[in-house]
Amino acid sequence: MSAYDDDNIFAKILRGEIPCHKVYEDDVALAFMDVMPQGEGHTLVIPKKSKARNVLEMEPDELAALMPRVQKVAKAAKAAFGADGVMLIQYNEPAAGQTVFHPHFHVIPRFADVPLKPHSGKMADGELLKAHAAKIVAAL
């Protein structure tokens, strides 16, 4: 098991050193728009206090506290975009596709017959992400 890197990008977002388009925050979790969305409304939900690198390393209690927040954001994201479904994804370790080593759940609204964009897509327009965040906030 490698050590948690305090300089990972999500740790920087949590410390306010890097901006994000925030959707939801409480004492346990922060949710914000993925800057390279794989679909409209792609949101990330992360634990605020974790020093785990991924879900496998989280304390069960920590994970149990996070999941209702993931569900809350997933429901809001699906409703906000009138999606047909919503995907919850998370990757553990590089071989599984993990690129940021702070636990996170991807929340991706899905529409019938609209394929998912690649995991490493291009950076989305900031104004669009801001508008999408506002839509999800309104649906929470």
Residues with a known catalytic role: 104
Contact of 124 with 37, CB cutoff 8 Å: yes
Among residues 34, 43, 76, 108, the one that binds ligand 5GP under rule CB under 6 A: 34
Q: Is 33 helix (H, G, I), strand (E, B) or coil?
A: strand
Nearer to ligand 5GP, 9 or 140 (CB): 9
Among residues 11, 32, 53, 58, the one that binds ligand 5GP under rule CB under 6 A: 32
Q: Is 78 helix (H, G, I), strand (E, B) or coil?
A: helix
Which segment (22-30, 33-41, 63-71, 77-85) binds ligand 5GP by CB under 6 A?
Answer: 33-41
Nearest alpha-carbon partner for 80 in 123, 135, 10, 36: 135
Contact of 44 with 105, CB cutoff 8 Å: yes
Residue 24 within binding range of ligand 5GP, rule CB under 6 A: no
Among residues 26, 64, 93, 97, the one that binds ligand 5GP under rule CB under 6 A: 97
Hey, which residues does 110 pair with through a beta bridge?
Answer: 85
Among residues 14, 20, 29, 83, the one that binds ligand 5GP under rule CB under 6 A: 20
Secondary structure of the chain: what % helix, strand, coil (to 5)? 35, 20, 50
Interface residues with ligand 5GP (CB under 6 A)? Answer: 9, 18, 20, 32-36, 91, 97-100
